[in-house]
Structure 1
Amino acid sequence: MAWARQALRGKLIGMPEHVTRRVVLQAASVATAATTAGLVGAAPATGAPATTFQHGVASGDPLPDGILLWTRVTPTPDAAPGSGAGPEVTVRWQVASDPAFAAVVAAGSVETGPARDHTVKVDVRGLGPATPYWYRFGLGDVWSATGRTATASAPDTELASLRAGIVSCADWEAGYFGSYRLLAARGDLDLVIHLGDYIYEYGTGGFPGSDGVVRQHQPANETLTLADYRIRHGLYKTDPDLQALHAAVPWVVTWDDHEIANDAWSGGAENHDPATEGDYATRRANAHKAYFEWMPVRTGDNNTIYRRLRFGRLAELSMLDLRTYRSQQASGTAVDDPARTITGDAQMEWLKQGLTSSTARWKLVGNSVMISRLDVGALPAWLLGPLAQLIGVPQNGFALNADQWDGYNADRDELVAHLRAHNTRDVVFLTGDIHTSWANELVTRTTVGDPAAAEFVVPSVTSDNLNDFIGLPAGIVSPVAAGLIRGTNPHVKWTELDNHGYGVLHVTAARARMDWYHLRDRTSPTTTARWVAGWSVVPGSSRLRKESAP
């Protein structure tokens, strides 16, 4: 996020019977409180799960027949994250159809040690579709806390609804993860979609706002080495609210820039100085290795993380990677250069073909940076006609943030043109990155009257936004700025620039709806949240409708 940086410088076995989605949700609501309190699947009398499994448990990337399970074990006191110390150990795992593990349906063991930072990932297959499961890990006579997860519905299933928590941008030093705690307590989520910036790479004090450092990063220095990234991931996974949400539902994740360095691109990053911080490729390899170790994410060939998940006939989710293959950020008319890309050629082709060939009702896109245009000035540049060529302004208007799709106009135009050429509707982009809340209709200079998709942008969990950078209370400057943005950008139906929180996406055959919830105080570990807005889109149209109540 260049604008943020500049602002700172300026100051396995199937279930025996079918279980419906409604039963899944009912079971989740019963199990979540016990799971997050560590009461189900309790350890035997000997041993200490809080010491041996101090980083919690997690699941991710649900399939109709499988789920990815994760934990991290601390077999000896010296085997801390990033230490390279500790013995090789064998960790057991179990999957059951009940929280008491009376009916274990899959089990096994896996070796782990310092080479993988004592993390454990198990891709369990052979499970039943649309089914809740409980899982745990064991070392010696110690069992971990129990996690609750669920598989996806079969592709041909008429799924009634899908509900997901949507989150992004969680800076440890900026506050507490109240968004995670409140989502875990809901008990009605099918999954969580994390859109990037799960961790932040800065050294302590490197990215504070008006509230300063609420709690200090470890390591205190900026993350550069493999040990640094492992320590930082390990710190985040000690947060009780983060652990609670991981244990409550499966997650689907992608990275943005701060998992490596601010404004990362294929060959470098704004927050990477080769003269003092070494080779960028080495740093990125360190960051990626730690991420793969510590996150419940599947990878494809060559460690690709863009991937697609299906939820019955209702929805298909395409998760993007907008950092690994992108061209370096540019400005001016360079943002129109068709040789520059944010997705890379292979991922763009994968995305286009996947969206147009999908048989799901809703085509969801996990998108780490905003795709909608954001013009500045009295008029978007493309309305000036020939003058745009004469004075050399970008075809889609002056880019306020060239780190977003605005900096890669050709890719956005290509994608929108493809959707229109194939009459592909019911596409919804789910976006993070910019720490603020937006409901947008996706248009380009040639499609301003006919939006091609909807976009819902969620605020940050804690990371600084407009009032934090300015150092003023919320509600003073933001409403004025939001009004100016909407006046120049009629496709922006709503935006709020001050508050932190999360979104809840609810998808049915009749609509795709996002509700935004804002925290009352990110610096309080017991903060509550309030509903602030809801917007929806119906099949066959990409025009947004405002909802009047939660």
Structure 2
Amino acid sequence: MTLDRRSLLATFGTGAVAAPAAATAGQGVQPTFLHGVASGDPHADSVVLWTRVTPGADGTRALPVRWRVLNGETVVASGTAEATPDRDYTVKVIAGGLRPGTEYRYDFQAGDVTSPVGRVRTLPVGATPDVVLAVASCQLHPGGLFNAWDDVSKLERLDAVVHLGDYIYEYGAAPADYGMAVGTALSRIPQPPHEIVSLEDYRLRHAQYKSDPDLQAAHARAAFICVWDDHEITNDAYISGAENHQGETEGDYTARKAIALRAYYEWMPIREPRAGLGLEHINRSFDFGDLASLMMVETRLLSRGEQLDYEKDLTVTPVNGVPTPDVAAFEAKRNDPSRDLLGAGQLDWLKSALAASRASGKTWQVLGNQVVMARVAGPDLAGSATPEQLERFLSALPAAYRTRVQAAIDLFKLGLPFNLDAWDGYPAGRERLYAACAEAGVQPLVLAGDSHAYWVNDLKDAAGARRGVEFGTSAISSPSVGDLFGPLPLGAMLAARNDEVVFCDQNAKGYILLTLTPERAEAKLQSVSTIRAKPYEARTLSTWVVTRGTDGITGPVRV
């Protein structure tokens, strides 16, 4: 039995603006910039600049595009590029020759039309007093308004945005599709209105997301440092397949994956993979002066084995006439040494990057990772709620989910993991990662997305040794498991059940504002009051601090 977030939450969601036109719409006389501008992957001397030109009357030829970077009113870099049909009229250039730690403005021009203006800051070198990052994930367009992105765009200080994946979702617009109860009510209808499979489909879906004004504003505010999770391809992706890929009707998975990645690199402000590597090699690192290194890892397409599933992989046999799960056999499968997310090659790269960061004297090593790393057993609902509360909770669930949730409750009594798609489904790989961190002499700050929940976790290895601190960000707009639980505080139940979980909120939506200084790392869990309407209110849900001393990190402590 699987507590599957997608199927449980298919009838939940949020938000409202009319769906944008398809990527090739808007065929006026002049070309236009309907999808805004973006920057990404900043280095100390260069940055990726991105836009898309919607063609004018002649939508079949290449279009010359001019770009420029300004410091104040002075143009410090400029050039020309072409928007071509074979890249869906997206333009991506690397603006070089820039100064470190400097904020610039940039824009594009096609014909007589000038794009919106973006802001971007290059990475610092040398002594760096602080770094401010917004950490975000999981933005289901029919799930709700992107109010959190509007809030990010208004931040007075922001060096970069770290996006941990699920930038787009692949689902269609059928009534039972993910988030469509709200998407229909709020006219946020996926484009195209079916599950995306072809290159044109993926391009149209990226175009729809980039048409959202709040997301455009966030991209124009600061550089994004991105990594995909699963929905940029399809749900619960792994190296050779995915839960939401049916080969008999949707073709070859390898071909679909290649199409999805092609569209991703076209539509995202990201550098191309290093020479000689395939598109899957999105792992890369960024140095913020002498203060911090950010390592972005890939946990879906390079080495991830197929996810375990309680319904398929947990055998139930009669014991004295009572159906009894064979937990020992299931745990043997889960702890198989071959189960992994990173793979040997990526782990070697990460270990070298961590060691180099430590050797150069940087205070913080930050791991940009997609899924929750901490050990999280499912909630003991039977032990945390009265029978009356539990009955009210179950009776309030949609009938289609009641049996599934009851089965999950019974399994979680046994101490089994809450989410097998997270690192809990790959414990041997997690131990190898922890060993690599220990060998490099670091206790990293781990960032996590995917879960649609806020987490503050104290990471420990199988022997109980402290290995790091994890900050998990909630969703921008995607439904949360906690939405199902009504008055039952799922986050508090998970924290009470698990030694590594210091704090968990399974309902609020938003992002994390992470500020690093030589003395401390401060994580503000920023939430928005609603994703169903405007205006909204933004607030800090809670603030957590980690300090680093000669003996390692201290905290997380709530302040």
Does TM, normalized by the shorter one, top 0.5?
Answer: yes
Secondary structure class of the residue paired with 1:95? strand
Q: 2:419 aligns with which of 401, 419, 440?
A: 401
Amino acid corresponding to residue 52 of structure 2 in structure 1: R
Structure 2 SS opposite 1:232: helix
5 Å matches for 1:1-16? 3-8=4-9
Q: Give the distance between the partners of 1:495 and 1:544, measured in 2 at CA.
A: 16
Paired with 1:349 and 1:398, the residues of 2 have a C-alpha distance of: 30
Residue 58, structure 1, aligned to residue 73, structure 2:
no
SS in 2 for 1:460: coil
Q: Secondary structure at the match of 1:202?
A: coil
Q: Distance in 2 between matches of 1:400 and 1:545?
A: 22
Deviations 1:497-526 (A, max 9, x none): 111111100000011111011211111143
Aligned-residue offset at 1:483 = 3.0
* Matched-pair contact (CA < 8 Å) for 1:196–1:433: yes
State the alpha-carbon separation in 2 of the partners of residues 268 and 496 from structure 1: 31
C-alpha distance in structure 1 between counterparts of 2:379 and 2:448, whole Å: 24
User: Does residue 418 of the first structure (1) align with residue 436 of the second (2)?
Assistant: yes
**How many Å separate the matches in 2 of 1:545 and 1:423?**
19
1:356 and 2:355 equivalent? Answer: yes
CA distance in 1, matches of 2:222, 2:491: 34
Task: Give 1:112 deviation, angstroms.
Answer: 2.2
Corresponding residue number in structure 2 for 1:520: 529
Paired residue type of 1:7: L
Q: Is 1:178–1:528's contact at 8 Å kept on the other side of the alignment? A: no
Correspondence 1:161 to 2:130: yes
The yes-or-no answer on 1:250 pairing with 2:223 is yes
Contact 2:458–2:500 (Cα < 8 Å) also in 1: yes
What CA distance in whole angstroms lies between the structure 2 residues aligned with 1:484 and 1:237? 37
Tell me, yes or no, if structure 1 residue 455 matches structure 2 residue 464: no
In structure 2, what is the equivalent of residue 240 of structure 1? Answer: 213
Give the distance between the partners of 1:10 and 1:135, measured in 2 at CA: 41
Aligned residue in 1 for 2:294: 317
C-alpha separation in 1, matches of 2:340 and 2:478? 27
**Cα-Cα RMSD:** 2.3
- Structure 1 pair 209–440 and aligned structure 2 pair: CA distance change class (3 A): farther
Q: 1:213-232 maps to which residues of 2 (within 5 A)?
A: 213=184, 214=186, 215-232=188-205
Paired residue secondary structure (1:308) = strand
Check the 8 A contact 2:483/2:506 in 1, yes or no: no
Q: CA deviation at 1:302?
A: 1.8
Please list every run of 5 or more consecutive structure 2 residues that lacks an aligned counterpart in the other structure. Answer: 13-27, 310-329, 381-410
Matched, 1:68 2:70: no
Q: Deviation at 1:543?
A: 4.1
TM-score for the superposition, normalised by structure 1: 0.83
Matched ranges for 1:120-519 at <5 A: 120-154=91-125, 157-204=126-173, 205=175, 206-208=177-179, 211=182, 213=184, 214=186, 215-298=188-271, 299-300=273-274, 301-303=277-279, 304-325=281-302, 326-331=304-309, 332-333=330-331, 334-358=333-357, 359=360, 360-376=362-378, 398-425=416-443, 427-447=444-464, 450-469=465-484, 472=486, 476-477=487-488, 479=489, 481-519=490-528
- Identify the range of structure 1 (191-200 vs 347-356) with the bigger mean alpha-carbon deviation: 347-356
Structure 2 equivalent of residue 37 of structure 1: none
Instruction: State the Cα distance separating 1:469 from its structure 2 match.
Output: 3.9
How far off is 1:529 after superposition?
1.6
| Separation of aligned partners in 1, 2:249 and 2:420 | 26
Offset at residue 345 of structure 1 (A) = 1.7
Q: Once the 2 structures are TM-superposed, how far is the Cα of residue 293 of structure 1 from its aligned partner?
A: 0.2
Contact 1:158 1:313 in 2 (8 A): yes
Contact 1:451 1:542 in 2 (8 A): no
Matched residue, 2:399: none
Q: Which residue of 2 aligns with 1:385?
A: none
For residue 114 of structure 1, report the CA deviation from its aligned partner: 0.9
- Partners of 1:175 and 1:250 in 2: CA distance: 24
C-alpha contact (below 8 Å) 1:369/1:432 kept by paired residues? yes
Secondary structure in 2 matching 1:245: helix
Q: Supply the distance in 2 between the matched residues of 1:107 and 1:278 (Cα, whole angstroms).
A: 43
1:90 aligns with 2:99: no
1:131 maps to amino acid: T
Matched residues in 2 for 1:336 and 1:519: separation? 39
Secondary structure, aligned partner of 2:154: helix
Secondary structure at 1:5 match in 2: helix
Letter in 1 for 2:99: G
CA contact (8 A) 1:454 1:543 kept: no
Q: CA deviation at 1:546?
A: 2.9
SS in 2 for 1:302: coil
Quote the offset at 1:422 in angstroms: 4.1
Letter in 2 for 1:328: E
Retained in 2: the 8 A contact 1:439–1:494?
Answer: yes
Distance 1:400 1:150, change over 3 A: same
Matched to 1:311, the amino acid is F
The Cα of 1:377 is off from its aligned counterpart by 7.0
Displacement of 1:9 in angstroms is 7.2
CA 1:254–1:355: 2 relative to 1, 3 Å:
same
Q: Which moved more, 1:459-468 or 1:166-175?
A: 459-468
Aligned match of 2:15: none
CA distance in 2, matches of 1:145, 1:327: 43
Q: TM-score, normalised by structure 2?
A: 0.82
Read off the aligned partner of 1:375 and give its amino acid letter: A
Secondary structure of the 1:110 match is: strand
Give the aligned residue type for 1:445. Answer: A
- Counterpart CA distance in 2 for 1:278 and 1:193 is 33
Paired residues of 2:136 and 2:162 also in contact (CA < 8 A): yes
Q: Deviations over 1:474-513 (max 9, x none)?
A: xx12x2x233322221221111111111110000001111
Cα distance, 1:9–1:527 mapped onto 2, change above 3 Å = closer
Distance 2:337 2:179 in 1: 37
Secondary structure at the aligned position of 2:278 is classed as helix
2:4 partner SS: helix
Render the CA deviation track for 1:109-158: whole Å, top value 9, x for unaligned: 1122110000000011111111111111111121111111111012xx11
> In 1, Cα distance between the equivalents of 2:41 and 2:189?
31
CA distance in 2, matches of 1:209, 1:408: 32
Distance 1:116 1:422 in 2: 41
Task: Report sequence identity in percent.
Answer: 38
Q: Is the 8 A contact 1:516 1:534 kept in 2?
A: yes
Deviation of residue 209 (structure 1)? 7.3
Q: 3-state SS of the aligned residue for 1:357?
A: helix
The residue aligned with 1:388 is none
Which letter does structure 2 place at the counterpart of 1:96? L
What SS does structure 2 have at the residue aligned with 1:353? helix
The C-alpha deviation readout for 1:7-46, integer Å capped at 9, x for no partner, is: 24799xxxxxxxxxxxxxxxxxxxxxxxxxxxxxxxxxxx
Residue 407 of structure 2 corresponds to none
State the one-letter code of the partner of 1:373.
Answer: R
Counterpart in 2 of 1:544?
555
- Give 1:3 deviation, angstroms: 2.1
- Paired residue total: 478
Name structure 1 gaps, 5 residues minimum.
12-46, 80-85, 379-392
Offset, 1:187: 2.0
SS in structure 2 opposite 1:316? strand
Change (3 A) 1:424 1:220: same
Secondary structure of the 1:149 match is strand
CA distance in 2, matches of 1:183, 1:71: 20
